[in-house]
Amino acid sequence: MPELPEVETLSRQLQEKICSGKILATEVYDDKLAGIKNLKGRIVTAVERRGKTVAILLDDGNFVLIHLRMTGRLFWQEDSTRPKHSRWRMTFAAGNIFLIDPRRFATIKILKNAESESAKDIFKAFDLKAFLKNHGSRRTKVKSLIMDQRAVAGIGNIYACEILHRTGIHPERVAATLTKDDWKKVFRQAKVVLKTAIKKRGTSISDWRDLYGCKGENQHELKAYGREGKRCSICGGTICRIKQGGRSTFFCPDCQK
Ligand SMILES: [Zn+2]
């Protein structure tokens, strides 16, 4: 599932490719998206990430909000041959954007005011003071808390493992046992980890591909996620895997306390 760095990558690539472009047509191929109106004639004024959605801003003040969910991808192609599993297409003079989505969970909405998923976005409006006040004394495990989008938006499973590994904090620590300095470290590392992932155009462990169908390169930067049994780059210990809330957590029991 695309997380913040992947959605940011797409938004930047789209901004470069279609900003100022005139939409020649949009076409729906899937009944589940039948309500989406034709945007023919509209001009794209900007493309931005809003939380985990891609927001395409139009000259009439409306927004196209695309949430990729599990298997959604946006794919740029010059010719108009429909790739397999296409559900929607937006056509410009230079080419087409296809929504490709085998499991059909992705959603597209056209809204007057883009609902903000970014109120607690770690790069936009995150407030450590408010976070500590509302969540600092919770008995939740730290990894679950930093992945709770209502507490801080933008950290998914892969990046949560990386952040805690760099911070030296055990993923099962109770949130309330962390000091303010611990939290400062967590969010400082969160920004470093996410920025690196954006620079590397996301993590392609399974099916993530960017707008041009290319793999990201952040999988080569991972120090904990997916590295069960391998050496810890920090202390030389061995990375372990446990299950937490149905998701795999990777960490080093020697340096994460
Ligand atoms: Zn270690």
Residues 140 and 234 occupy one common structural domain: yes
Ligand 1 centroid–CA 177 distance in Å is 20
Q: Residue 18's CB: how many other CB atoms inside 10 A? A: 22
Structure confidence by residue, pLDDT tens digits, 183-202: 999 999 999 999 999 999 99
Ligand 1 centroid–CA 156 distance in Å is 21
Residues 27 and 78 occupy one common structural domain: yes
Ligand 1 centroid–CA 159 distance in Å is 17
Residues 4, 188, 5, CA angle at the centre, nearest 5°? 15
Residue 28 one-letter amino acid:
V
Which of 106, 102, 108 has its CA nearest to residue 26?
A: 108
- End position of a domain, from candidates 83, 111, 139: 111
Output the average pLDDT for the chain: 95
Q: What is the CATH number of the domain that holds 29?
A: 3.20.190.10
Residue 207, domain extent: 128-251
Residues 45 and 79 occupy one common structural domain: yes
Q: Residue range 234-253: average pLDDT?
A: 96
- 97 falls within a domain: yes
Residues 91 and 146 occupy one common structural domain: no
Report the catalytic residues. Answer: 2-3, 52, 247
Provide the angle, in degrees to the nearest 10, between the axes of the packed helices 180-199 and 128-135: 120
Q: Which two three-digit tokens encode residue 32? A: 């589940």
Residues 75 and 155 occupy one common structural domain: no
Cα torsion at 7, 11, 12, 18 (round to 10°)? 150
Residues 81 and 169 occupy one common structural domain: no
- 157 falls within a domain: yes
Q: Which two three-digit tokens encode residue 69? A: 């969910």
- 173 falls within a domain: yes
Ligand 1 centroid–CA 2 distance in Å is 28
Residues 90 and 184 occupy one common structural domain: no
Name the strand (E) or helix (H) holding 108: strand 107-111
Residues 95 and 172 occupy one common structural domain: no
The DSSP bridge partners found for residue 33 are: none
Structural domain tally of the chain?
A: 2
Residues 157 and 217 occupy one common structural domain: yes
Q: What is the CATH number of the domain that holds 153?
A: 1.10.8.50
Structure confidence by residue, pLDDT tens digits, 24-63: 999 999 999 998 999 999 999 999 999 889 999 999 999 9
- 122 falls within a domain: no
pLDDT for 168: 98
Name the strand (E) or helix (H) holding 240: strand 240-244
- 117 falls within a domain: no
Ligand 1 centroid–CA 124 distance in Å is 31
Burial (CB count <10 Å: 0-12, 13-18, 19+), residue 48? middle
- 145 falls within a domain: yes
Residues 29 and 83 occupy one common structural domain: yes
pLDDT for 114: 66
- End position of a domain, from candidates 111, 144, 169: 111
Structure confidence by residue, pLDDT tens digits, 121-174: 899 878 999 999 999 999 999 999 999 988 998 899 999 999 999 999 999 999
Ligand 1 centroid–CA 136 distance in Å is 26
Residues 76 and 139 occupy one common structural domain: no
Which of 140, 139, 147 has its CA nearest to residue 164?
A: 147
Alpha-carbon gap, residue 67 to 52, rounded angstroms: 7
Ligand 1 centroid–CA 162 distance in Å is 12
Residues 140 and 105 occupy one common structural domain: no
pLDDT for 115: 64
